[in-house]
Structure 1
Amino acid sequence: METQVKMSRRQFARISALGSSAAPLLSRAAVPRTGAKPCPGGREVIQASGNAIFRSDLSQCQPAEALSRSFESGRWQLLDYETVEGVKGVMAAAIPEEECGELTLPLDVKGPHRIYLGINYTKARYHEWSPYGQLEAKLTGDGGFFSVAAEGGTNLEDGSPKIGEGQWLYKAIQETYWRTADLTGRSLIFRQPRSPYRRSELANISNLAYVKLVPLSEHERRRWVELQPTDETRRGAVIYCTGNFTGHTRGTSTFYPTDEQWIRDDFSPYLESDIKLFIFEALRGNCCVYRTRIGDVGHQDNRWQESWVDPLAVYTRLAHAHGMKIFASLRMIGAQYPMNREPIARARNYWQNREFAKLDRDGVALTGLSLAFPEVREYWLRLLRETLAYGTDGIQLHLNRAVPFVHYEGPVIRTFRERYGTDPRELPETDVRWQKHCAAYVTEFIREVRKLLDEKPGRELGVTLFGQPHEYDLDKASYDPIRYNCDVETWLCERLVDYLMPSPYVDLRLLRKWRQLGGGRVHLWPDLMPRTQMPHQYAQLAKKYYEAGADGFCVWDGERRAQRLSEWAAVQRLGHRDQLDRLIREGPSYHRRVYLKYFAGFSVERSFHDG
């Protein structure tokens, strides 16, 4: 079913009269307000542009035998609908308990088009929408599927949820800009999420209501070409948390893929983007996301299975094949809360070496090991050496987790007393002498990592660190990372690090100071937090950091950001510094809610109000 919404001259003139505020929408399929329906909070639903083409009849998908109107097992269910804008169609939905297979939707257009996906997130018995996605989609010819997630957790300027809530969510189609591509001879293929994202804690209904296609004008084609990544614009890093493999620290199950295609799918969003550096969390404590001889592999029996694919090996090959760098990162995870009995909580290295544990003022153990002990540093170095053997381009130390790295251990207290003649336990933690003393042990570890890297020229070191007091810190006063054992000034003066990635935010004063100390040799790539924000807000934040001295950006938990299509559409182009103002203008048009008028034979507005 193809629907085109025409724009009259009068409607066009009315849009034009809105002035510059309408420009972002006009450049991204903006539209007439005639007949628009009021939305909660006084907002309006805006109709589609005159040249938009809707592929809204998903009963045309193939194979036909995978479709049903009677809730047959193992098939996609077809449901009729009509939006308040007059788009009629048949959506497809599948429940997570059943394997319903892939569907192919012919697009039947030629040339470059902007592609929007329309999805209804219906009321159901499942958990909240998983950040890993509820649908996977690709175009024919793509190397892998893209995951698509509900973009909950982001608010509009008026404070209301972007995707709505309650009935305003269930009664709407979320229309999200995905990408721009030449669609000549191409179809859309979509499916339910792959394992492990259909586990009970992540499962939800998969849905696709329509695909909206907007052809590019000649001017837009030229601008599309301008937004393609180049060596100059590739200045971003994805920091990939591997909790989906090892289990998260809250105690979720482990997973290892048995097919390389799983990893190719996972890597797809970073291709054709401004992402240059893929930071893979290969070391979560001594739990290793590769075939280790030293650490643990995190499975219940802690034995590598021959059917598993080695994630670090495949990600390294993919990164290099696409002109990207890959760093293996270390997160010094230790013991977990006692009721967490999953493999990530076992921390064998910690329990076998408790004599090297960090201690509080009273001599009671903390849940991690102290870098003050050479034996602890040597263990981490042995694991890091294993990752470098894969041909990775460097190492990333996540010093924004597991702080402090040195505390009141015996050798630390003794050497401080020898130097200053006083017991540090009698001093406040803010004592500058004590902070610098503890930081010296971390700096020694960084020197050792640098030495390891320099065994092969060209390898680099990145550090993720707190750019502000962390949420558990009651002292929000003037901040310097040395509070958490990070002597950044010494690192820069000794040229120990190549990348500094402050997270979740960073004081612009620190950025300017580090740029002055490090000059053009060091990369300052601050994290773009929060994890969920509007596309134009990402561009605004990147612009602010660039102006303060940053030369790139990173995204923590990047493995859960690309699924938020409208937001990722902006993030993946943030290396185009000269296009940031354009992204700021256009960003608000990357996502909108379109309300249903009729659904499955019902009038929607005053229905479904009984619970």
Structure 2
Amino acid sequence: MTRRTLILSGAAAAGAQSREALYLSNLDRCQPASALSRKPRRGHWRMLDYEAEGIKGVMLVAGQNTGAPEIRYAPAVTGRHEIWFGLRSYSGVDQSQLDVRLSGDKAFTRVIHRGEDRGRLDEYYWKTADLAGQEIVFRQRRRQLVPGDPESVANPCAGAWLAYIKLVPAGGTAERHEKRLYAHHDAWSYTYEFRPTTVEEIRSELEPFRDTDFSRIYWEGGMGDRMYLPTRTGVPATDHWIEDPYRVGDRLAAETWQAWKRAGIDPFRTALEHARSMGLEFHATYRPAGFHFPVPEDEWNTGGLYDRHPEWRGRDKQGRVTPRLSYAYPEVRKAALGFIGEMLAYPVDGVCIAYNRRPPLVEYEPPVVEAFRKKTGLDATKLDDRDPRWLRSRAEVLTAFMRELRAVAGAKPVTAIVMRNEAENLYFGMDLEAWIREGLVDTIVPYTSAERLLSTADSWENPADLDFFVRITRGTKCELAPNMMPRVMPPETYLRRANGIYRLGVDRLFFWDTNARYDFSPSWSILRRLGHKEEVRAWARSGSRAVARPGRKLLKLGDWDLTYATPG
């Protein structure tokens, strides 16, 4: 059934006008027809009749064991349209997921339904595109767990419930973007989750940023001596020496990197080139504390610098060895700069140091304790841990590293992801005011306002928590880009946090692990255009109303009347 109705579209563009929407609910028209079945069959999409408020049609369903093939739908329209999908999930632990692309696209994108109500169809905005001559291509998501057998039934699939496609005419004017947003991608978690082995799958990780307010992607290239690119001197992410990976995802990640190596695929270069093709700046990101990890990741750096140079390890206040390499040793800083240099050998737009993971980088190592004693005549091990004289002296280590980094990076912008306030930064050896004063950093990203870098806590609920960062960057060439946490938030929370930050005069926003956020839910529809400061302010002035979550009640599914409810 093809249905036309007049609606108020709550599309990605705020202030959308009333437009005639085309509902394509006859999904039994998908091709090839041989991929469709009225009964549940492995390797087929199940066609299921349904009725919902104001619409009825044929839904496509694929289960966790189905292994449904790629199918195409020809919408037979021309011109620019917003493309929406009517989705359902079976339950909270079986979130409906689809890989989607247009026939002219270079890569799929991943749409994840976050709804909990099985009696509702939610409408998710995907993107706006000219549909002349285009088909919409769908693919069930499958995770290959069985080595060497991608078709095995033991490879679990994500459930999928697609009820209809909604098309809304968008006119000839392209959506305006205000490029204030910065995204981060850890370049590893998708290998753990999905086992990608092709160039296309790497591109898919970047496609959601197309036609959004994002201007930069911070893509990780390494941590410590573990590198996420074809490395000359570091430890590769192939993990081929690990006989018994602890988690399934660890094995899948290793298989991914080994497959890329065999195929001659450089994921770092692939990501860089695709980001550039989309108009995104590409900033290489490095975790300086990644030379050693706790169990069960302790095998990741086998044979690396931590194993080969125990004399470079950290020391605590009592002189005991700690499980990390210390930047108090010039040799460690030189090694880190060498790994960063491997990333800078690519035509990247900047470099970022992610200090927000596994601090500290300097403790009570003999060189830094002795330097303090010579300068002050005091024994640092006898002072309070937070004695400002000691902390200022110890901070000279990372200031030296930042000077060395600036020499290596040259004119390329340097970003630092840092702690929550002045005291915590100084405690972990970071004198941000000195870095800014000497021109060693171009962008400061406070990771969170929560203690101990807690990723699950709300950040910047009180915008005044950013006062220190606003003060030290005001009137300088260093910009401030606060990070918003946690990774997943309701759309209203994104708007509220952004409004509070913008009111401080801050002009940039940062999002750690954006690959955990771009699900095309209502939250992503807000986040993707959160650079529109005036829209954010207008929302706040209008009373911070709830963001529309378009959809409709599901009335009948197959032969079951969903208005007739019984327990169990």
Which TM-score band applies after superposition, normalised by the shorter structure? Answer: 0.7 to 0.9
1:338 aligned to 2:295? yes
The structure 2 residue matched to 1:240, chosen from 159, 174, 185, is 185
C-alpha change, 1:76 and 1:228, in structure 2 (3 Å) is same
C-alpha change, 1:5 and 1:325, in structure 2 (3 Å) is closer
Aligned partner letter, 1:204: A
The structure 2 residue matched to 1:116, chosen from 84, 105, 115, is 84
Deviation digits for residues 67-98 of structure 1 (CA, Å, limit 9, x no counterpart): 11212221112222222x13212221223444
The structure 2 residue matched to 1:275, chosen from 185, 202, 214, is 214
Query: Match for residue 262 of structure 1?
Result: 201
Determine the C-alpha separation between the residues in 1 that align with 2:69 and 2:545: 34
Query: Match for residue 74 of structure 2?
Result: 106
1:510 aligned to 2:468? yes
Deviation digits for residues 98-152 of structure 1 (CA, Å, limit 9, x no counterpart): 432212122233433333212111139xx565xxx8211123333322111233x
Determine the C-alpha separation between the residues in 2 that align with 1:325 and 1:576: 19
Determine the C-alpha separation between the residues in 1 that align with 2:47 and 2:545: 32
Name stretches of at least 5 consecutive residues in structure 2 with no aligned partner: 242-257, 449-458
Once the two structures are TM-superposed, the CA of residue 370 in structure 1 deviates from its matched residue by 1.0
The structure 2 residue matched to 1:299, chosen from 238, 241, 249, is 238
Aligned partner letter, 1:465: V
Determine the C-alpha separation between the residues in 2 that align with 1:549 and 1:267: 29
- More displaced stretch, 261-270 vs 494-503: 261-270
Determine the C-alpha separation between the residues in 2 that align with 1:23 and 1:64: 31
The structure 1 residue matched to 2:334, chosen from 361, 373, 378, is 378
Once the two structures are TM-superposed, the CA of residue 284 in structure 1 deviates from its matched residue by 2.6
Matches within 5 A, 1:392-471: 392-454=348-410, 458-468=411-421
Deviation digits for residues 259-305 of structure 1 (CA, Å, limit 9, x no counterpart): 22222222211222222211111103322111101112222326773
Q: Is the CA contact 1:62–1:105 (under 8 Å) kept in the aligned structure 2?
A: yes
C-alpha change, 1:409 and 1:603, in structure 2 (3 Å) is same
Deviation digits for residues 159-205 of structure 1 (CA, Å, limit 9, x no counterpart): xxxx33xxxx2332222222333334433211123656999898531
Deviation digits for residues 349-396 of structure 1 (CA, Å, limit 9, x no counterpart): 322223222222233333321111111111111111111111212210
Q: Is the CA contact 2:94–2:159 (under 8 Å) kept in the aligned structure 1?
A: no
- More displaced stretch, 352-361 vs 295-304: 295-304
Q: Is the CA contact 2:79–2:131 (under 8 Å) kept in the aligned structure 1?
A: yes
C-alpha change, 1:362 and 1:606, in structure 2 (3 Å) is farther
Query: Match for residue 35 of structure 1?
Result: none
Query: Match for residue 186 of structure 1?
Result: 134
SS at match of 2:363: coil
Matches within 5 A, 1:312-331: 312-331=268-287
Determine the C-alpha separation between the residues in 2 that align with 1:202 and 1:72: 15
Q: Is the CA contact 2:142–2:156 (under 8 Å) kept in the aligned structure 1?
A: no
Once the two structures are TM-superposed, the CA of residue 239 in structure 1 deviates from its matched residue by 0.8
1:483 aligned to 2:427? yes
Aligned partner letter, 1:141: G
Q: Is the CA contact 2:416–2:444 (under 8 Å) kept in the aligned structure 1?
A: yes
C-alpha change, 1:171 and 1:379, in structure 2 (3 Å) is same
Aligned partner letter, 2:323: T
Query: Match for residue 3 of structure 2?
Result: 3
C-alpha change, 1:347 and 1:28, in structure 2 (3 Å) is farther
1:173 aligned to 2:121? yes
Determine the C-alpha separation between the residues in 2 that align with 1:326 and 1:202: 34
Deviation digits for residues 571-591 of structure 1 (CA, Å, limit 9, x no counterpart): 222333333345667995453
Aligned partner letter, 1:598: K
Determine the C-alpha separation between the residues in 2 that align with 1:310 and 1:97: 32
Identity of aligned residues (%): 28
Once the two structures are TM-superposed, the CA of residue 246 in structure 1 deviates from its matched residue by 6.4
Determine the C-alpha separation between the residues in 1 that align with 2:31 and 2:240: 42
The structure 2 residue matched to 1:591, chosen from 514, 535, 549, is 549
Determine the C-alpha separation between the residues in 2 that align with 1:460 and 1:416: 32
Determine the C-alpha separation between the residues in 2 that align with 1:273 and 1:23: 13
The structure 2 residue matched to 1:309, chosen from 251, 265, 270, is 265
Task: Count the aligned residue pairs.
Answer: 527
C-alpha change, 1:237 and 1:148, in structure 2 (3 Å) is same
C-alpha change, 1:347 and 1:426, in structure 2 (3 Å) is farther
Determine the C-alpha separation between the residues in 2 that align with 1:203 and 1:445: 46
Once the two structures are TM-superposed, the CA of residue 487 in structure 1 deviates from its matched residue by 0.9
1:204 aligned to 2:158? yes
Query: Match for residue 54 of structure 1?
Result: 23
Query: Match for residue 142 of structure 1?
Result: 105
**Cα RMSD between the aligned structures?**
3.2
Once the two structures are TM-superposed, the CA of residue 451 in structure 1 deviates from its matched residue by 0.5
Determine the C-alpha separation between the residues in 1 that align with 2:551 and 2:359: 42
TM score, norm. by length of structure 2: 0.84
C-alpha change, 1:322 and 1:593, in structure 2 (3 Å) is closer
Once the two structures are TM-superposed, the CA of residue 437 in structure 1 deviates from its matched residue by 2.0
Determine the C-alpha separation between the residues in 2 that align with 1:578 and 1:65: 50
The structure 1 residue matched to 2:228, chosen from 289, 292, 298, is 289
C-alpha change, 1:268 and 1:542, in structure 2 (3 Å) is same
Q: Is the CA contact 2:313–2:325 (under 8 Å) kept in the aligned structure 1?
A: yes
SS at match of 1:528: coil
Deviation digits for residues 407-439 of structure 1 (CA, Å, limit 9, x no counterpart): 122222222222233332333322212222222
Deviation digits for residues 43-72 of structure 1 (CA, Å, limit 9, x no counterpart): xxxxxx883322122111111111112122
Determine the C-alpha separation between the residues in 1 that align with 2:76 and 2:492: 32
Query: Match for residue 94 of structure 1?
Result: 62
1:214 aligned to 2:158? no
C-alpha change, 1:419 and 1:178, in structure 2 (3 Å) is same
Once the two structures are TM-superposed, the CA of residue 606 in structure 1 deviates from its matched residue by 4.3
Query: Match for residue 442 of structure 2?
Result: 498
C-alpha change, 1:522 and 1:215, in structure 2 (3 Å) is same
Aligned partner letter, 1:2: T
Once the two structures are TM-superposed, the CA of residue 28 in structure 1 deviates from its matched residue by 5.1
Aligned partner letter, 1:459: K
Determine the C-alpha separation between the residues in 2 that align with 1:57 and 1:591: 23
1:547 aligned to 2:503? yes
Determine the C-alpha separation between the residues in 2 that align with 1:138 and 1:23: 19
Q: Is the CA contact 2:19–2:168 (under 8 Å) kept in the aligned structure 1?
A: no
- More displaced stretch, 381-390 vs 332-341: 332-341
Aligned partner letter, 1:300: D
Q: Is the CA contact 2:140–2:157 (under 8 Å) kept in the aligned structure 1?
A: no
Aligned partner letter, 1:237: Y
Q: Is the CA contact 1:501–1:527 (under 8 Å) kept in the aligned structure 2?
A: yes
